[in-house]
Structure 1
C-alpha cells in the first residue's frame, strides 16, 4: 500500500493518479473532508486527518509500506513557518512510530539551516530529521514550482500583467508538478535507490519575462511583467493576505533565492514539461 500526503495538491494529485494507473493501492491523505470525492476519482482510498494529530497519522501510516511526504503549507495569514515546523515534527514522529519501509520526501532547491526563511529552513529541518530515521528515505529537491505562477491567471487576463518579486530577466530553474510526481512515482515503486538529494527541474531555466510571454501566447493577448521592487515587497505581500511574520519570512527567502548562494546540482534530473506547455494547460483548465 502506498500513502500520499497532500493527495489533492498540485504534486500529490498527479502522483496519486500515476500510482493508481500503475494499479497500485493508494491511500490519499487530506485534511479536508470535502476532498474525499476528488481522491476517490483519482483512484485512491481517502483518509481525512489533521497531520498535527500524530497518533491518528501513525495509524494511517501503519496501513501502508511506502509514503510520499510533502509537508503541507502553513496559513500565510498567520505565522506559516512556525506552523510548518510543527507539522514536519508531527509527521516525522508518526513515521518514527510506524512500520513504513520507505519514504520519498519532497524538498526544495536552496534548503538550508535557518529560521524565518520560509520553506528553505523548514524543509532542511525535514531532511535532517528524516536522515535519523529507520525507514529508507529518498529526498527530492524540486526547483521553483511552475504552479507558483497559478495566481497570475487573474491579472494576466484582466490587466494584461503579471506581478513578480523577481526582476523580469532573472532566470531560475523551474519545474512542473507533474514532473516531480513522475520522479516520485519512480522512486516509490523501485526497490533500490540512493538517498539523494535528487534535484529535478524543467527542460531549461525561465524568467518572469518568460512567464509573461507564456501567458501572452496562451491567452493570445499581450501580457507584461511588473516588478515589485525590494522596498515594496513587505507591503505587497501583506496586502495580498500575508501576516507580517509570513511576509518577512517570504522576503528573506526571496533574498536568498536571488543571491543563489546555495548548493546547485551539476546534472539535475530534467522533466519533460516546458513552461509554455504548463501555462497552456493551466489556461485550458481555467476556461
Structure 2
C-alpha cells in the first residue's frame, strides 16, 4: 500500500494514475471532499486530511508501506514561509511510529540552508527533517516547473509582452510535473536502498528568451520580453496577488537564484516533456 500526499495536484495525480495503472493499492491524501470525489476510483482510497494535524496524518501513514511526501504550497495571500514550515514539521513528525519502509520526497533544485528563501530553504529543511526520521529516504529535486509559466499566458496573449524577473538569456533547467510524477513512481517502486538525492528535469534547458519564442510561434504573433528590475521584484509579486510577507520571500528566492545560478547536475534524470509540448497543451486547455 502506497500513501500519496498532494494526491490531487499536478505531480500527485500523475503518481496516483501510474500506480493505479499497475494495479497498486493507494491511499490518496487530499484536503477536501470535492477533491476526494474526483479521484475515487479502483484501487485508490481517498482520505481527507490536514497535513498540519500530525496525529491524524500519522494514523494514515501507518496504513501504508511506502509514501510519497510533498509539502503543500502555502496560500500566497498569507505568510507562505511560516505556513510551509509548519506543514513540513508536521509531516516529518508524523513519520515517527509510522512503520514505513521507504519514503520519496519532492524537493527542488537549489535547496539550501537558510531562512525566508521560499522553497529553497523550506524544502531543504523538509529534506533534513524527513531524513532524520531514520526511514530510508529518496529525494527527487525537481527543476523549475513548466507550470510556473502558465500564469503568463493571459498577459502574453493580451499585450504581446512576457514579464519575468530572470535575465532573458539565463539558461534554466525546467521540467513538467508529469515527468516529476513518473520519476517519483520509479523511486517508490525501486529497492529500499535506492536513496539519496536525484535531480529531475526535462530533455532540454531553456531561457526566458526561448519561452518568448515558443509563445510567439504557438500564438502566431511577436512576443517581447520585459525584464523586471531587481528593486521591483516585491512589487511584481504583489501584483500577482501575493501578501507582503510572501512577496518578500519570493523576491529573496528569485534574487538568490539569479545570483547563485540554478543547479546544473551533470547526470540528471531527464523526462520527455519539452517546453513546446507543455505550452501546446496549455493553449489547448485555454
Please state which band the TM-score falls in when normalised by the shorter chain.
over 0.9
Structure 1 position 59 matched with structure 2 position 59? yes
Task: Report the Cα distance in structure 1 between the residues aligned to 2:253 and 2:272, rounded to whole angstroms.
Answer: 27
TM-score after normalising by structure 2: 0.95
Distance 1:102 1:86 in 2: 23
Normalised by the size of structure 1, how large is the TM-score?
0.94
Residue 131 of structure 1 and its aligned partner are, at CA, apart by 1.8
**Aligned residue number for residue 143 of structure 2:** 143
- Unaligned stretches of 5+ residues in structure 1: none
- Residue 47 of structure 1 aligns to a residue whose secondary structure is strand
Match of 1:90 in 2: 90
The 5 Å alignment of 1:216-235 reads 216-235=216-235
Give the equivalent residue in structure 2 for 1:13.
13
Matched, 1:121 2:114: no
How many residues align? The count is 286
Residue 47 (str. 1) matches residue 43 (str. 2): no
| 1:138-173 deviation line (CA, Å, top 9, x unaligned) | 001111111111111211222223221112221111
Alpha-carbon distance, 1:261 to partner: 5.5
* 2:198 matched residue in structure 1: 198
- Is residue 37 of structure 2 the alignment partner of residue 34 of structure 1? no
For the residues of structure 1 that align with 2:39 and 2:255, how far apart are their CA atoms? 37
Query: Counterpart of 1:115 in 2: which secondary structure?
Result: coil
The separation in 2 between residues aligned to 1:105 and 1:218, in whole angstroms, is 35
| 2-structure distance, mates of 1:32, 1:162 | 35
User: In 1, Cα distance between the equivalents of 2:234 and 2:252?
Assistant: 10
Q: CA deviation at 1:211?
A: 1.4
Name the CA distance, whole Å, in 2 between partners of 1:264 and 1:277.
Answer: 22
Residues 208-248 of structure 1, C-alpha deviations (whole Å, 9 max, x = no match): 12112222233333332222111111112112211111111
Q: Please give the alpha-carbon distance, in whole angstroms, between the structure 2 residues aligned to 1:33 and 1:42.
A: 17
Please tell me whether the aligned partners of residues 136 and 192 of structure 2 are also in contact (alpha carbons under 8 angstroms).
no
Cα deviation, 1:52-90, whole Å, max 9, x if unaligned, reads: 011111111111111111100011111101110100000
Distance in 2 between residues matched to 1:227 and 1:43, nearest whole Å: 47
Which stretch of the first structure deviates more once superposed, 195-204 or 152-161?
152-161
- Cα pair distance change 1:265/1:155, threshold 3 Å: same
Please list every run of 5 or more consecutive structure 2 residues that lacks an aligned counterpart in the other structure. none
Aligned to 2:212: 212
Q: Which moved more, 1:236-245 or 1:67-76?
A: 236-245
- Contact 1:69/1:103 (8 A) holds in 2: yes
Question: Which secondary structure state, in structure 2, belongs to the residue aligned with residue 96 of structure 1?
Answer: coil
Q: How does 1:72-87 map to 2 (within 5 A)?
A: 72-87=72-87
Measured in 2, the distance between the counterparts of 1:10 and 1:188 equals 17
Q: Is the 8 A contact 2:15 2:184 kept in 1?
A: yes
CA contact (8 A) 1:17 1:43 kept: no
Q: Does 1:252 align with 2:252?
A: yes
The match for 2:265 is 265
Check the 8 A contact 1:16/1:42 in 2, yes or no: no
Listed one character per residue, the Cα deviations across residues 112-146 of structure 1 (whole Å, up to 9, x for unaligned) are: 11111001111111111122113211001111111
Match of 1:111, SS state, is coil
Does the CA contact (< 8 Å) of 1:16 and 1:43 recur in 2?
Answer: no
CA contact (8 A) 1:108 1:140 kept: yes
C-alpha distance in 1 between matches for 2:128 and 2:153? 36
Shift of 1:177: 0.7
